[in-house]
Structure 1
């Protein structure tokens, strides 16, 4: 801009006053562009720690069929690239079910507990099941040291997938969309997938039994603990605050709680494409609900709605043997309850 300005000034012999006027116009134009970009994202996405790919499209995919204009780049997952990846996971034999765990970079205790419990289940009711952990980038002054530990952990377990967005709570929508992108591009032949949080008790046997029931759709299917007519929280002190600028409607569309929802794998590419035209906000499960709405699709209630549960009042072995999901307080609880549910003997004996 400066070079053009100097050339323009020299050729046209602008006066000092005219030069100042042109410089002011350039300055105001730049301020407007930067301010517009900031206001668009700053109230619900972690802009400070946002690290998108520098080029679009990324990851070397064939995007020749992607004709929809991208309006909202921040949650569009192909603006990012994978730092740690496992492209071979689904090549030998496509899994029936892929469990994609959204977990914080620092939470190795949660990952280890899952590896020792429901994450070690690889053949369930005759069906192949894969469990993988999706991470963003660690932050802080010791970020490189943390990254080295993650690389070592991945060499040991071969189950970490990492993308180049900052791993923060506000970026859960980005993390979820990166999960969808990985499934769509690395494991498209899997029948079903589940996005699940790291603080969950998951009864994989019951989940596979449910998915194999007659009448369960193989396409355009999403189920879980379904919520309807949930009001958007406008309290700025709330963890789930969303501004009217990011989401103007007072009520969210129907969605499944992000603790753990299951979907047919054909939806993943559809979600990726839908994200081009949906303004991102920081409630990831409601964002997927927006994707379903944009696609003109409805969520499906599970065959037994009591199997998808959030919190429990007290541990009961029989009850835990019958559910699919429960939110836990700690990794220690997962190890304890899993060991009890799996011990010999009928869990519902009086």
Structure 2
């Protein structure tokens, strides 16, 4: 009898154990699908632009993969294995310096930064003595010779604390226009002052899908400049520039040479200045002086972000624009973007095109802090992307940011400029004409919605259907 009982017990164990395991696996799969569905629904109820970002891994291993509707996503960005790349080796030294595992001795951030700044000059000098430094293009050699410096005197500063502002400003500013310009581009600055960059209160313009009307925000304006010629004495700023600054009170000029590779300096120096002078400003627009901005639509869009139920979480990492993914350094030595392999090796992280991008005031301060641990890079918008990746934050793509202009088929579409937030490039005369036309047609086109990338919005739903189909196949195999 005992033998019979043991035999049946063994049979039950052999039969029931796989069934129990199969049941547990099925429960796990069902729960995973449910969580994925909830995550998708949460995204669809959040920021409208959030659905415009492809899901999936950001950077995992070397190589790229194709994700259908989007350009290839890089699996890594700067590569420490690029032994002969000067920037990579400098950044590797920095990352090891701040690595808490490698540096067990606890020190404050201030002590770390002081120690790092002292050692940086030694590391840079050592790397510059190597043979591959001499092979860099002349422009990059000049950049490397001063890339460790981030402290430059301010020669002209705005009259108000945080850019040009209206006298009747009664609440905290919603948006600061921080526009990169050069000394010679007076016509560009004047067109912006008289059109989309006017300081003061601006009424928002909502599309018919929002169901909301009314409301607005205060705008401030600031132009970012370097010197045309650093050979001149530091105090010798042109008389015309001084008069312009005194009259408009919207210029921030530093004592460094205003070159293409020094656009990155405008970012880091602006972040530092903003952190001290603009504590209450909600958002920053950073762009070029040849873009056209639909300010009423921009105001409405940003007010919507502040009214999101999760706004306090969203604003922390908020950056939106024309996002570039899977980019690789330009190796064409005839291009102004040319970066040779002996300077930088690897893919670029996801970044927003520098023609025009909007980010929160809170993120601006965080970028200032993290930028102190990322070496300057000669392409400014790529450098911003490098700082973002260190914050574990990613810019959001929005199709209404047209940094590469309209597709040809859309040029004759009615109310076209009411459907965008930004377009690049436009001359001063074009900016003035576009602003006048935008004002005249505002009533007729006030309910036209912003541009939407239909393929982008459909992609999360397609991904969910594919995932659910795969789960069904797995369950059919198991059961």
Flag whether TM exceeds 0.5 (same fold).
Answer: yes
Aligned to 1:55: none
Cα RMSD, aligned residues only: 3.3
Aligned length: 294
- 1:257 deviates by 0.5
How do residues 85-96 of structure 1 correspond to structure 2 at under 5 angstroms?
A: 85-86=157-158, 88-90=160-162, 94-96=172-174
- 1:43 deviates by 5.1
Aligned to 1:73: 148
Out of 74, 95, 117, the residue aligned to residue 195 of structure 2 is: 117
Gaps of 5+ in 1: 1-28, 53-71
- 1:110 deviates by 0.2
Out of 84, 97, 108, the residue aligned to residue 175 of structure 2 is: 97
- 1:127 deviates by 1.1
2:385 and 2:139 map into 1 onto residues whose CA distance is 18
1:203 and 1:256 map into 2 onto residues whose CA distance is 18
Q: Is residue 44–residue 170 contact of structure 1 (8 Å, CA) maintained in 2? A: no
- 1:44 deviates by 8.7
Out of 369, 382, 396, the residue aligned to residue 273 of structure 1 is: 369
Call closer, same or farther: CA 1:324–1:130 in 2, change over 3 Å. Answer: same
Out of 213, 219, 224, the residue aligned to residue 134 of structure 1 is: 224
Deviation track 1:26-53 (CA, whole Å, cap 9, x = no partner) reads: xxx9xx669449949975967759997x
1:165 and 1:47 map into 2 onto residues whose CA distance is 16
1:239 aligned counterpart, secondary structure: coil
1:218 aligned counterpart, secondary structure: helix
Deviation track 1:10-30 (CA, whole Å, cap 9, x = no partner) reads: xxxxxxxxxxxxxxxxxxx9x
Q: Is residue 260–residue 325 contact of structure 1 (8 Å, CA) maintained in 2? A: yes
Call closer, same or farther: CA 1:177–1:43 in 2, change over 3 Å. Answer: farther
Verify: 1:223 aligned to 2:298, yes or no.
no
Q: Is residue 113–residue 335 contact of structure 1 (8 Å, CA) maintained in 2? A: yes
Question: Greater CA radius of gyration, 1 or 2?
Answer: 2
Q: Is residue 51–residue 165 contact of structure 1 (8 Å, CA) maintained in 2? A: no
1:180 aligned counterpart, secondary structure: helix
Aligned to 1:298: 394
- 1:203 deviates by 0.7
Q: Is residue 218–residue 264 contact of structure 1 (8 Å, CA) maintained in 2? A: yes
Aligned to 1:192: 283
Call closer, same or farther: CA 1:40–1:114 in 2, change over 3 Å. Answer: farther
**Structure whose residues are more often helix by fraction:** 2
1:247 aligned counterpart, secondary structure: coil
Gaps of 5+ in 2: 1-121, 164-168, 204-215, 448-479
Larger mean Cα displacement after TM superposition, 305-314 or 103-112:
305-314
